[in-house]
């Protein structure tokens, strides 16, 4: 279970980094503000998911 959660955490963190990169690129090019807002919302959701997974891993590490 711990290995699965660790792998999932890594994937979520990489997804967060990717979405952040797309968001920065969109802002840099002066793209569609709606798309930029959607990317920001997606990044926040991915970060929240990463924090939940990290908390779960920390709780598993206690036992």
**For 12-37, what is each residue's pLDDT tens digit?**
999 999 999 999 898 889 888 899 89
| The model's pTM | 0.85
Please state the rounded mean pLDDT for residues 33-54.
Answer: 94
Provide the pLDDT for residue 31. Answer: 82
CA distance 16 to 63: 29
Number of domains in the chain: 1
> Domain limits at 21?
2-58
Provide the pLDDT for residue 30. Answer: 87
Provide the pLDDT for residue 43. Answer: 95
CB 55 within 8 A of CB 12: no
Provide the pLDDT for residue 48. Answer: 97
Query: Could you tell me if residue 63 is inside a domain?
Result: no
Query: Could you tell me if residue 15 is inside a domain?
Result: yes
CA trace torsion 28, 34, 37, 41 (10° rounding): -140
Query: Could you tell me if residue 13 is inside a domain?
Result: yes
């Amino acid at each position: 279970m711990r290995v699965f959660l660790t792998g999932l955490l890594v994937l979520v963190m990489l997804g967060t980094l990717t979405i952040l990169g797309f968001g920065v690129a969109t802002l840099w090019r002066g793209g569609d503000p709606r798309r930029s807002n959607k990317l920001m919302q997606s990044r926040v959701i991915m970060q929240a998911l990463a924090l939940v997974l990290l908390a779960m891993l920390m709780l598993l590490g206690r036992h």
